[in-house]
Amino acid sequence: MGVPLISLDQVFLGWRDKIAVRNISGVFTQGSLTAVVGPNGAGKSTLFKGLTGQINPLRGHIHIAREVEARMALLPQMGDIDKSFPISVYDMVAMGAWRRVGALGGFSQQEHVSVGVALAQVGLSDFARRPIGTLSGGQLQRALFARLILQQADVLLLDEPFAAVDRATTEDLMRLICQWHEQGHTVITVLHDLDLVREFFPQTLLLAGQTVAWGPTDSVLTTENLHMARHLCAGDYL
């Protein structure tokens, strides 16, 4: 068992009188690679909002180890990105260095080198000066992964990283995720492709407005648990 980095103790998340996620308890440990899965409306993105401090628990507690509080990075859903914003791929990726550089800090030659390396890692070296609005869905996701690389985070939260991207992009970005895991980073990823989860993710949290199962992927993604999750999200057992 690894060192606990994020602990949830009977956590309820939602807005006002609407509870989206109820009574979740568990731990994300250092260096773990965890998939968060569940039917539509299961509360997966709401959980991420709680983990990143965008919303506070209605009840219960989320404890994040002090040493990683400032070293977490979120890959948002692509639908949350305004592609009409007039910014180049290079500049968007360079924003990943914001915590190190700040508003008034100079962007050093080493940071410029790091941007170039990150773009090369995701296969976008020739796209640096393009406006982000000209990118395809897969190219935009590659650029967002490059920005993550610049953030140098210990904990990475990826919200549906493979939605609306082609197979080649999925394979390339999945290799990056595996590299981060091998380097000791903690990666938590919302996914819909259960075959991908079974192949690459040792740990899985199955949500359906509450925890259906959380642990080794083989023991979580059983027929019985998946059936339960579908019925819970349909309201059959609530």
| Rounded Cα gap, residues 159 and 191, in angstroms | 8
Within 10 angstroms of residue 86's Cβ, the number of other Cβ atoms is 8
Q: Mind listing the pLDDT tens digit for each residue in 137-167?
A: 999 999 999 999 999 999 999 999 998 899 9
In a domain, 5, yes or no: yes
Domain that holds residue 235: 1-71+155-163+186-238
Nearest 5°: the CA angle 151, 134, 102 is 25
Q: Mind listing the pLDDT tens digit for each residue in 212-234?
A: 999 999 999 999 999 999 989 87
Specify the CATH number for the domain of residue 35: 3.40.50.300
In a domain, 86, yes or no: no
In a domain, 231, yes or no: yes
Q: Mind listing the pLDDT tens digit for each residue in 54-70?
A: 999 999 999 999 888 88
Amino acid at 19: I
In a domain, 61, yes or no: yes
| Rounded Cα gap, residues 129 and 126, in angstroms | 8
Number of domains in the chain: 1
In a domain, 94, yes or no: no
- Per DSSP, the three-state class of 99 is helix
User: Residue 237: pLDDT above 70?
Assistant: no
Q: What is the residue whose two structure tokens read 């410029």?
A: 112
pLDDT band, residue 88 (cuts 50/70/90): very high
Q: Are strands 155-159 and 186-190 parallel, antiparallel or unpaired?
A: parallel
In a domain, 83, yes or no: no
Percent of the chain at pLDDT > 70 equals 96
In a domain, 171, yes or no: no
Q: What pTM was estimated for this model as a whole?
A: 0.92
In a domain, 224, yes or no: yes
DSSP, residue by residue, 149-175: HHHT-SEEEEESTTTT--HHHHHHHHH
Q: What is the residue whose two structure tokens read 């949830």?
A: 8
CB–CB of 39/208 below 8 Å?
yes
pLDDT band, residue 82 (cuts 50/70/90): confident
